Amino acid sequence: MKKEIAIVAYRCKKCGKLHYPYHDRCLACKAREFEEVKPEGNVKLLTFTRIYNLPWGFDQRYLIIGVVEFENKIRAMGQIHVDDSYPLTTGMTLKPSWGTVRIQYGENVYGLVLEPL
Ligand SMILES: [Zn+2]
């Protein structure tokens, strides 16, 4: 079954600025009231990096980490699941899902997974 993307952002009720993760006070206007916003649609790849020297405990040979922006402007970081040779470019559209980003002590650790459309 498809899991819901477990990301919630917070929109300032006073000025509308989006915060993710949560902040106690709005970074723009210092207000304290927020409404919860769920990410929507596909994502645009803003930047990415490939990591080859992984800490002990990772089964993968390398990781590709991207910072993306959802259609409703929420920004988040996730793992891009493509081959090392896949031609990633900033600005491209990816499909987000909530999936396994790591296996720790035999259990799946879930997070934001990004794949080509
Ligand atoms: Zn504000």
- The predicted-structure confidence for 77-100, as pLDDT tens digits, reads as follows 999 999 988 999 999 999 999 999
User: Rounded mean pLDDT of 55-80?
Assistant: 90
Residue 112 and residue 79 in contact, taking contact as beta carbons nearer than 8 Å? yes
Write the Ramachandran bin of 32: left for phi over 0, alpha for psi from -120 to 50, otherwise beta: alpha
- The predicted-structure confidence for 6-16, as pLDDT tens digits, reads as follows 999 999 999 99
Domains present along the chain, CATH in parentheses: 40-116 (2.40.50)
For CA atoms 12, 4, 61, 44, the dihedral sign is negative
Distance from residue 26's CA to the centre of ligand 1 (Å): 5
User: Rounded mean pLDDT of 19-27?
Assistant: 95
Report the percentage of the chain scoring pLDDT > 90: 78
Q: How far is CA 66 from the centre of its chain?
A: 7
- The predicted-structure confidence for 30-59, as pLDDT tens digits, reads as follows 999 999 999 999 999 999 999 998 887 777
57-86: burial string, b at 16+ Cβ within 10 Å, e else: eeeeeebbebebebeeebebebbbbeeeee
Model confidence pTM above 0.85: yes
Distance from residue 109's CA to the centre of ligand 1 (Å): 33
Distance from residue 32's CA to the centre of ligand 1 (Å): 8
Distance from residue 33's CA to the centre of ligand 1 (Å): 8
Which of 3, 2, 28, 5 is CA-nearest to residue 13? 28
Distance from residue 49's CA to the centre of ligand 1 (Å): 31
Indicate the SS3 state at residue 91.
Answer: coil
Distance from residue 71's CA to the centre of ligand 1 (Å): 21
